[in-house]
Amino acid sequence: MKVICPGSFDPVTNGHLDVFKRAAQIADEVTVAVLVNRTKSGLFSVDERMEILREVTSSLPNVRVDSFHGLLVDYCREHEIQAIVKGLRAISDFDYELQMAQMNYRLADVETLFVSTNPQFSFLSSSLIKEISRYGGDVEGLVPQAVLERLPAKFSDTM
């Protein structure tokens, strides 16, 4: 089975990494794909996010990193990917994700497999990481080392 883990990953957190590892254990090939949003610039550029993702997944041999623009199901069809793997953290994820899952199945028979993330990362999100880092809060243990090293430079001139 070929699966995809799509997301903005701006930046990737240890919660995302937990989902990649779970996906790598159940699938033959995992694509971690950065969704490119042309109308919104992130904290990290798409190239930086892919570079970081390659670093943090380097120990997972069946994971490749890519980016995509447009409909996720089109990317899946093109690359013969059968399923999307998403982490479910909380109830508020559930509704939107279920909606997207049913739409993606209808559009292109692409299945969505939800995995429960490790509860110790259940309160994590990329935007929370950015908010804490902006004010000098400590996010060690919440993001991979590759993100931890790059965060200070991002906020050096914003305060």
Binding residues for a copy of itself, rule: CB under 8 A, are: 1, 22, 25-27, 70-71, 73-74, 82-83, 88, 90-92, 94-96, 98-103, 105-107, 111-116, 118-125, 128, 132, 135-138
86 labelled catalytic: no
Q: What's the rounded Cα separation, in Å, for the pair 94 and 72?
A: 19
Selecting among 8, 89, 130, 133, the annotated active-site residue is: 89
67 labelled catalytic: no
Selecting among 22, 49, 86, 126, the annotated active-site residue is: 126
Q: Are strands 29-35 and 63-68 parallel, antiparallel or unpaired?
A: parallel
When the beta carbons of 51 and 107 are compared against a copy of itself, the nearer one is 107
Give the length of the chain.
159
92 labelled catalytic: no
69 labelled catalytic: no
When the beta carbons of 123 and 149 are compared against a copy of itself, the nearer one is 123
Helix/strand/coil percentages in the chain, nearest 5: 45, 20, 35
Q: What's the rounded Cα separation, in Å, for the pair 97 and 36?
A: 19
